[in-house]
Structure 1
Amino acid sequence: MYEGGEAVLKELQKTEFPEFNRFALKDKKLIQTYIDTYKPISCEYNFSNLYAWQDACKMGWSFYQERLLIYDGISKCFFMPLGQDFYPEELAILSLNLKNWGLEPNFSLVTSDYLEKYPEIENYYTVKQERDNAEYIYDVESLCDLTGIKLHKKRNLISQFKRSYPDFEVHPLKGEYKHKALNLAKKMLKKLKTSSKTLDQEYCAIKTSFDHFDQLGLEGLVVTMEKKLVAFSVFSQMSHSTYDIQFEKSDMDYKGAAQVINQETARYLIDKCRYLNREQDLGIKGLRQAKMSYGPVRLISPHSLIFNPVN
Structure 2
Amino acid sequence: MRNIQTENKTMENVTTEILENDFTTLQVMDWPMVQEYLQRCKYEESNHNIINMIMWLQTYPLFYYKKEEYLLLLGIHEGCFFMYMPLCEKQYIAEAIKKGKEIFDHYGHDFTLSCFTKEMVDEVIELYPEYTAIHESWADDYVYDGERLRTYAGKKMQKKRNHLNAFYKDYEGRWSYETLNETNIDDCIGYLRDWKSEDPDDFLQSERIGTFRILDLYNELPCKGGLIRIDGKVRAFAIGSMLSDRMCQENIEKADGDVRGLYQCIMKEMLSHEFPGIELVNREDDTGRENLRAAKLSYHPVSIIEKYRIKKGVES
Contact 2:72 2:100 in 1 (8 A): no
TM alignment of 1:274-285, pairs within 5 A:
274-285=279-290
* Mapped contact 1:242–1:275 kept (Cα < 8 A): yes
Q: Structure 1 residues 58 and 80, CA, compared in 2 at 3 Å: closer, same or farther?
A: same
Q: Measured at CA, do residues 269 and 180 of structure 1 come closer, stay the same or move farther in structure 2, by a change above 3 Å? A: closer
- Runs of 5+ in structure 2 lacking a partner? 1-19
Which consecutive unaligned segments of at least 5 residues does structure 1 have? 1-15
Give TM-score, length-normalised by structure 1.
0.84
Give yes or no for the alignment of 1:68 onto 2:71.
yes
Match of 1:174 in 2: 181
Task: Name which one, 1 or 2, has greater alpha-carbon Rg.
Answer: 1
Counterpart residue identity of residue 197, structure 1: D
Instruction: Indicate the percent of aligned positions where both proteins have the same amino acid.
Output: 23
User: TM-score of the superposition, structure 2-length normalised?
Assistant: 0.83
Larger deviation, residues 137-146 vs 31-40: 31-40
Shift of 1:225: 1.2
- 1:29 corresponds to: 32
Alpha-carbon distance between aligned partners in 2 of 1:102 and 1:224, rounded to the nearest angstrom = 55
Cα-Cα RMSD: 2.5
Return the offset for 1:127.
Answer: 0.8
Amino acid aligned to 1:82: L
Q: Distance in 2 between matches of 1:99 and 1:185?
A: 44
Letter in 1 for 2:189: L
| Alpha-carbon distance change, 115 to 49 in structure 1, aligned in 2, over 3 angstroms | closer
Give distance in 2, aligned partners of 1:45 and 1:35. Answer: 7
C-alpha contact 2:86 2:97 (8 A) present in aligned 1: no
Deviates more, 1:152-161 or 1:43-52: 43-52
SS of 1:57's equivalent? coil
Alpha-carbon spacing, 1:119–1:78, altered in 2? closer, same or farther (3 Å):
closer
Does 2:278 match 1:273?
yes
1:300 aligns with 2:284: no
Mapped partners of 1:204, 1:40: distance in 2: 26
| Aligned amino acid, residue 129 of structure 2 | N
Is the aligned partner of 1:85 residue 2:93? yes
Measure, in 2, the Cα distance between the counterparts of 1:92 and 1:117: 11
CA distance in 1, matches of 2:109, 2:125: 25
Matched residue count: 289
- The question of 1:134 aligning with 2:140 is answered yes
Provide the secondary structure at the position in 2 that maps to 1:276: strand
CA shift, 1:191, in A, is 5.4
Written as runs of structure 1 = structure 2, the 5 A alignment for 1:103-252 is 103=109, 105-116=111-122, 119-120=125-126, 123-166=129-172, 167-175=174-182, 177-190=184-197, 192=199, 195-252=200-257
- For residues 125 and 105 of structure 2, the distance between their equivalents in structure 1, rounded to whole angstroms, comes to 23
Q: Displacement, 1:51?
A: 2.1
Q: Could you tell me how far apart the structure 1 residues matched to 2:68 and 2:225 are?
A: 37
